[in-house]
Amino acid sequence: MSDDIVTVRGVEVPAVGLGTWRLRGDDCRRAVETALELGYRHVDTAQAYGNERRVGAAIRSSAVDRDDVFLTTKLDGGSRKNGAVQRSVRESLDRLGTDYLDMLLIHWPNDKPPFSPVRLPGGPPLAETLTAMNELVDEGLVRHVGVSNFDVRRLDEARRLSEAPIVTNQVQFHPYWDQRDLLSYCRRNDVLLTAYSPLCHGGVLDDDVLRELGRRYGKTAAQVAIRWAIQHEGVVAIPKATSRDHLAANVDVFDFELTEAEMERIHRPSKLRTFTGFARSRLPV
């Protein structure tokens, strides 16, 4: 269908991709292989995930041409200084077995470690990281650059400092997390919002509203949540899954459309639900 691709700044990005956080070893490789077989053409990984080699092996072993896969990775916390950026990206390319990245992101703001409620001094200047990323674009090793987990202020600063357009900001985006201000900013400035954890780490599965709407459309609660995410203008989603059934279901969301009233009904910000979903994701798997 026409809504399975989102275009921003002339860049075409599949609306539903595969997230690979916490996927390791053969499970990761099988998940990526199965996703590509099922029609996925968007795969997201990160240096910090420790699975780039498996992701790359899956892409190479599939029948899908590399140029047809939109592949993203992210810089880890120790690879944000000039020199370290370039070196780490070349190492990522080697692990992934590819000559280029479709998208390279800064994984977290340089002044704010993961899950820290406060800014901390000592990280390399954002300008330094972005300048190095821009050099990789000039070399042809990276096609597009973006950021992840940036708020409006940091995103605005990144856009000002980067010569290459900031194509996306990858953030947590699901019915329980209010990102309306950020989404409005992204729309005004032609920045794609990439939604990770669109299922709130499985927290949407027992949601009564999503289940009710799922019955109306012949879909699961998870499918309704993914549809809710990508039905927002300028949003793509990268849910994680491993089983064939779940992978197939997550991409089977283009044959129905939620009404405006249903979209509003689904959106119920809740820090408790968000925290509960995240806490569940940290349990051993």
User: DSSP for 65-111?
Assistant: -GGGSEEEEEE-TT--STTHHHHHHHHHHHHHT-S-EEEEEESS-TT
The rounded distance, in Å, linking the Cα atoms of 188 and 78 is: 32
Domain count, the chain: 1
Give the model's pLDDT for residue 285.
33
Among 185, 122, 109, 115, smallest CA distance to 149 is for 109
Residue 166 phi, psi dihedral angles, 5° rounding: -80, 105
Give the model's pLDDT for residue 283.
42
Give the model's pLDDT for residue 1.
40
**Parallel/antiparallel/unpaired status of strands 70-75 and 18-19:** unpaired
How many angstroms separate the first and last alpha carbons of the chain?
35
The rounded distance, in Å, linking the Cα atoms of 106 and 209 is: 35
Give the model's pLDDT for residue 114.
62
The answer to whether 70 and 142 have CB atoms below 8 angstroms apart is no
Q: Is residue 165 part of a domain?
A: yes
CATH code (residue 50): 3.20.20.100
Low-confidence ranges of the chain (pLDDT < 50): 1, 283-285
Q: Is residue 285 part of a domain?
A: no
Give the model's pLDDT for residue 225.
98
Give the model's pLDDT for residue 276.
73
Give the model's pLDDT for residue 249.
98
Q: Is residue 123 part of a domain?
A: yes
The answer to whether 34 and 59 have CB atoms below 8 angstroms apart is no
DSSP 8-class letter at 48 = G
Give the model's pLDDT for residue 120.
53
What type of residue is 138? Answer: D
| CA dihedral over 224, 229, 234, 239, signed as positive or negative | negative
Domain that holds residue 134: 11-280
Which residues have a catalytic role annotated? 49
The answer to whether 270 and 176 have CB atoms below 8 angstroms apart is yes
Give the model's pLDDT for residue 22.
94
Give the model's pLDDT for residue 27.
97
Q: Extract the tokens encoding 196.
A: 């990770």
Q: Is residue 243 part of a domain?
A: yes
The answer to whether 216 and 177 have CB atoms below 8 angstroms apart is no
Q: Is residue 208 part of a domain?
A: yes
Q: Is residue 136 part of a domain?
A: yes
The rounded distance, in Å, linking the Cα atoms of 244 and 258 is: 25
Q: Is residue 2 part of a domain?
A: no
Q: Is residue 218 part of a domain?
A: yes
